[in-house]
Structure 1
Amino acid sequence: MSVFLLILAAFFLPLFPATMLFTRLAVSTQPLPVRLALVVFWPQIGVVLILWGELEPGPILATWAVMSALFYAFRMLTVREVGRWNAMLAVSAWPLVWLYALQTPAPVDLVAVTLALTTAPVLMLVVHEVLVGRLGAAYTGLHGGLARDLPRLSGIIVVATLAAMALPLFPGFFALLTLLGSAPVGFAIGILLIWLLWSWAGARLLQGTVFGPRSGPVAADLTAPRAWGFAGLVVALTGAGLIWTGGAL
């Protein structure tokens, strides 16, 4: 029974090749609320299975998780469509939960770290929706130099991308520090490489959307209320990360 639960959990805290199921669902055409629910609850099902089955991942599974996360972090460098880029980010972040589970943390801490690693995919989902709604497509390089004509839209892209890069103050930063705090040297090096690849991929995304010469059709910028609404979401998520995940350090 525990082996079956372990395999099932590997679909929800996805390890390659089980990651293909989530990525296919994540890039399919669905309303934004459905995609948000998918991103938020998908990894939590895996956490519930780990806690319910009292699963104890061994070093082999943890190594598999690091390799899977590294593979998709590298794939992010080659993907131009923001929705698919975000799916790669999610399946690169969630396998790291297996490394934390290896430390047998308290259930609330396991849930918190999983939510922290889910924050950036949630924000990038909103960015993808706005890009498609305003510009008709969400490809890096197709609509460049947005900072010049669409400052509010550019602002939410920058903030969401910084969260995807797991920079300080964002929940992903505290989650990675928590993982690094007690990870063996080999796993710690893997986590740092994944972090580096996320930063590299995020910089490439910003270069292909916000910065550079203006290209693409003219579009209306976000309204001030929508921009403030996104800012409120970011503040709420960041505050939760500081209080919950950051407090675990």
Structure 2
Amino acid sequence: MSGLLIILAAFFLPLFPASLVFNRLAAGTTNPFARLALFIVWPQIGVALILWGDLAPAGTVLATWATLSAIFYAFRMLTVREVGRWAAMLASSAWPLVWLFVMQGPSGSDLIAFTLAMTVAPVLMLLVRDALARRLEAAYTGLRGGLARDLPRLSGVIAVVTLAAMALPLFPGFFALLAVLSGATLGVAIGILLTWLLWSWAGARLLQGTIFGPRSGPIADDLPRSTTWLVAGLVVVMVAAGLIWTGGAV
């Protein structure tokens, strides 16, 4: 029974090739609210299965599978230009790390918090995708460069969200990576650090293809000030939550 639950959970905390199911659903979901719900609920179903079955998966095979899945999708992020797919690749790279955290025997609340920390950046990137699509009719990197001068508020949001996707200090992903690295073996730790490096590389490429580069000229209205302040407030809440969780979990 436990083996069956682990296989089922591998679809919701996706390990390749089971991750193809999530990516197909993410690509085929056009409603923004349904897409957000998919990203938020999908990994928590996997967590619920683990907690319900009181699973304690372990072993070199599963650790290697999770690590390689994370690295594979981190590499895929370097080749994807559509921001929605980029967010799905990021989620598919981040969620396998939940398995590595499960192997350390965390409490249920810490496991839920870790999964949410790994979900924040992909969800925020979906919001960036929708903002770009509404203004540029498409959300591709390299389609319109130099947004920093034409749409400064949107560019600021893109920059902050991308830094969160790169798991830089003070963002939830950073605290989550510290938590899983603290109990990882040497081989797993190297795989996590490689994944982290690839996230940073992919994030830098995304920034280069959007807010930097030659100026495109006035093309659309910028983000409203109210929306910009809302995002700023969310960032403050994320940082505070990460600091509080780290104080109790690491």
TM-score class normalised by the smaller sequence: over 0.9
Aligned length: 249
Return the letter of the residue paired with 1:38: L
Quote the Cα distance in structure 2 between the aligned partners of 1:248 and 1:117: 15
2:182 is paired with a residue of what secondary structure? helix
Return the letter of the residue paired with 1:17: P
Contact 2:150 2:217 in 1 (8 A): no
Quote the Cα distance in structure 1 between the aligned partners of 2:94 and 2:6: 18
2:120 corresponding residue in structure 1: 119
1:72 is paired with a residue of what secondary structure? helix
Is 2:6 the counterpart of 1:17? no
Quote the Cα distance in structure 1 between the aligned partners of 2:187 and 2:217: 45
Quote the Cα distance in structure 1 between the aligned partners of 2:199 and 2:130: 21
Cα RMSD between the aligned structures?
A: 1.2
Q: Cα distance, 1:116 vs. partner? A: 0.5
Is 2:118 the counterpart of 1:93? no
Quote the Cα distance in structure 1 between the aligned partners of 2:43 and 2:29: 20
Q: Cα distance, 1:216 vs. partner? A: 7.4
Instruction: Deviation per CA, 1:141-193: give whole Å up to 9, x if none.
Output: 00111001100000010000000000000000000000110100000000000
2:46 corresponding residue in structure 1: 46
Q: Which moved more, 1:190-199 or 1:236-245?
A: 236-245
Quote the Cα distance in structure 1 between the aligned partners of 2:109 and 2:170: 20
2:193 corresponding residue in structure 1: 192
Once the two structures are superposed, the pairs formed by residues 156-175 of structure 1 within 5 Å of their partners are: 156-175=157-176
Q: Cα distance, 1:3 vs. partner? A: 1.4
Contact 1:143 1:216 in 2 (8 A): no
CA 1:195–1:31 in 2, change beyond 3 Å: closer, same or farther? same
Q: Cα distance, 1:217 vs. partner? A: 6.8
Q: Which runs of 5+ in 1 are unaligned?
A: none
Q: Cα distance, 1:247 vs. partner? A: 3.4
Contact 1:142 1:216 in 2 (8 A): no
Instruction: Deviation per CA, 1:190-210: give whole Å up to 9, x if none.
Output: 000000000000000000000
Is 2:240 the counterpart of 1:239? yes
Instruction: Deviation per CA, 1:197-246: give whole Å up to 9, x if none.
Output: 00000000000000111237711111111111121222222221221245
Q: Which runs of 5+ in 2 are unaligned?
A: none
